[in-house]
Each structure stands twice: as structure tokens, then as C-alpha cells.
Amino acid sequence: MILGIGVDLVKVERVQQKAGENLDSPLARGAFTESELAYARSRGVAAFQSLAGFFAAKEAFFKATQTWPGFHEIWVEHEESGKPYFGLSEKAKAKMLELGLAPETCNIQLTISHEKEYAVAVVVVCASS
């Protein structure tokens, strides 16, 4: 059973302007974890596309779960295959529990795509079977 769906679209140029060329602006440090910034730096010319995708993913998560634990309380990680997924802090898990979304009994699916000017993310929260 689907419990929530979220989608967000972000313009890459907007993230590039706000994050700064070295990814060290107050916005970059406030919206992204060190692991996300390190991943983006490793992507070379696609760094800002990655960050735009991470930002869209966090916004889509907030929409799908109807909870706002904070930008550093959730983060995007990647499986070896490249598939993205969320890391959740204890604070984020507690906020989800308040809404009846126990992280161990729900499945959070994430997909991110980007193409030159835009990044999009979709999050689907389902009850585990």
C-alpha cells in the first residue's frame, strides 16, 4: 500500500549559484551533509547536477512523508550499483514514527534523474509486506 508520494524539480543553475563554485557557501553547508558534498565534488562537471538531485530528493521526501526533520537529518547515499537511497538520522526516524511511519515497517523508494538544466526526484513510501 502506498503511504505517500513526493516529487520535486530543481534548476541546476540555481543550486550552482547558491552553493558556490567550491561548494562551501552557507547554503551548501546548510542543505547538504559532508558526505553529499564529497560525492558531488567527486562528480567533476556533474557536481551541481548531483547537488540539485539531492536537494530535489530531500524536498520529495518531505512531501511524501509530510515531515520536516531538517536537511542534515536525511541524506542521499548510493548502493554499489549507483541506486540512490536515504540515510536517516534518529531524529528523522522519530519524526516519521510520530506520523505512524515506522522506518522498519515502511519502504522508502527514491529515484533521481538530471539532464543539463534540471534535476528531478521522486519518493514513494510504501507499507512493507
Give 54-93 pLDDT, tens digit per residue.
999 999 999 999 988 889 999 999 999 999 999 999 999 9
Q: What is the pLDDT of residue 129?
A: 61
What type of residue is 86? F
Give 12-66 pLDDT, tens digit per residue.
999 999 988 888 899 899 999 999 999 999 999 899 999 999 999 999 999 999 9
pLDDT at 103 over 80: no
Cα atoms in the 13 Å half-sphere on the side-chain side of 76? 29
Q: Domain count of the chain?
A: 1
Helix/strand/coil for 115: strand
CA end-to-end distance (rounded Å), the chain: 9
pLDDT at 119 over 80: yes
- CATH number for the domain spanning 93: value is 3.90.470.20
Rounded Cα gap, residues 101 and 113, in angstroms: 26
Give 4-14 pLDDT, tens digit per residue.
999 999 999 99
User: In sequence order, which ranges of 4-106 are alpha helices (DSSP H)?
Assistant: 12-19, 26-31, 34-42, 47-65, 90-98
Rounded Cα gap, residues 120 and 65, in angstroms: 17
Q: What domain range is 76 assigned to?
A: 2-127
